[in-house]
Structure 1
Amino acid sequence: MFDAYRGFYGQPSNLEQSRRFIAERMARDESVIFFAEDGQGQGLGFVQLFPTFSSIDAHRTWLLGDLFTAPEARGRGVATQLMNTARAFALLTGAKGMTLETATDNHTAQKLYESLGYVRDTGYYTYCLDLKQG
């Protein structure tokens, strides 16, 4: 399912790389993943959180790095359930908040996030530095 998520964002399929990435995050305790499935064990979607901290607020925050719903499960509330599970987990860990990013043209996701109380940040710019060679 993670490989399908990467494909949604234009990355070529690479099951080995996808498996390795998830395995490394789990082995190093670098992420928390919640997985939704139907009654027959069929994957419906997942959300992946990465721990981070706010130096200014001196509190833990969670970066909601990945949210994906299988195409056949869209429109059935799966993403909302995953987002609510992530929120409950963040509260359980005493986090001050959660942050996320989404593509500027992903209007469906933006509508979901805003319906759940997320507010678009207008006070900060996000800068990226690509260190990948070639």
Structure 2
Amino acid sequence: MSHILIRPACSDDRDALTDLMDEYIVDFYKKSKQPRERIQDLITLLLDQRDGIQFVAQQNEELVGFATLYFSFSTLRAGKISIMNDLYVIEGARGSGVAAKLFDACHHYSKAHGCAFMSWTTASDNIRAQRFYEKVGGTTGDWLNYSIE
């Protein structure tokens, strides 16, 4: 595999990143397709890097993965935290180290910007991701995740 560049997403990535996020949502997680405008609005929000940041993995001129960090706060740590909400690599680039490079970019960014910790979740049936997260030193926590629509 040729050189992989990990960098923050920029406005020139909008169309390719939208397509990649569509693949992640619909093909990988089997969720409903979101309107293209909503995905692009989210990308635009993240480009200013106040509420979060997206990193992309670029091989030659093609985006082959992305990771998204959102920022929040922890009362128990009395400080800012980051939440890695997404880490996705296209099928053809899996197993090549791209995920590790994206993860490292998120972890480094979090530490460099004073976050008390970085957290993330993955689907309970995504065994490959769980093995990866254990390999990079992640541990499961004592907290249960809940959500409501």
TM-score scaled by length of structure 2: 0.79
Aligned counterparts of 2:116 and 2:52: Cα–Cα separation in 1? 17
1:66 corresponds to 2:86 = yes
Q: Select 2:116's aligned residue among 96, 107, 110.
A: 96
User: In the alignment, which of 51, 56, 59 is matched to residue 35 of structure 1?
Assistant: 56
Evaluate the alpha carbon distance shift between residue 60 and residue 66 of structure 1 in structure 2; reply closer, same or farther with a 3 A threshold: same
Partners of 1:9 and 1:23 in 2: how far apart?
Answer: 23
Matched AA of 2:83: L
Instruction: Flag structure 2 segments of 5+ consecutive residues without an equivalent.
Output: 1-19
Q: How many residues align?
A: 128
**In structure 2, what is the equivalent of residue 124 of structure 1?**
143
Q: Which amino acid aligns with 2:71?
A: P
Deviations 1:57-90 (CA, angstroms, capped at 9, x unpaired): 1021100011100111111110011001111111
Task: Decide whether the 8 Å contact of 2:46 with 2:54 is kept in 1.
Answer: no
Distance 1:42 1:93 in 2: 28
1:111 maps to 2:111: no
Give the secondary structure class of the aligned counterpart of 2:100: helix
The aligned amino acid for 1:117 is G
Where in structure 1 do 4 or more consecutive aligned residues deviate above 4 Å? Answer: none
Q: Deviation of residue 22 (structure 1)?
A: 1.7
**Matched residues in 2 for 1:124 and 1:12: separation?**
28
Q: Which amino acid aligns with 2:51?
A: E
TM-score (norm 1): 0.88
Secondary structure of residue in 2 paired with 1:57: coil
- Shift of residue 25, structure 1, vs aligned partner: 3.5
Instruction: Return the structure number with greater relative CO, CA threshold 8 A, min gap 6.
Output: 2
CA deviations over 1:30-64 (Å, ceiling 9, x no partner)? 220111111x2111101000001111110211000
RMSD: 1.5
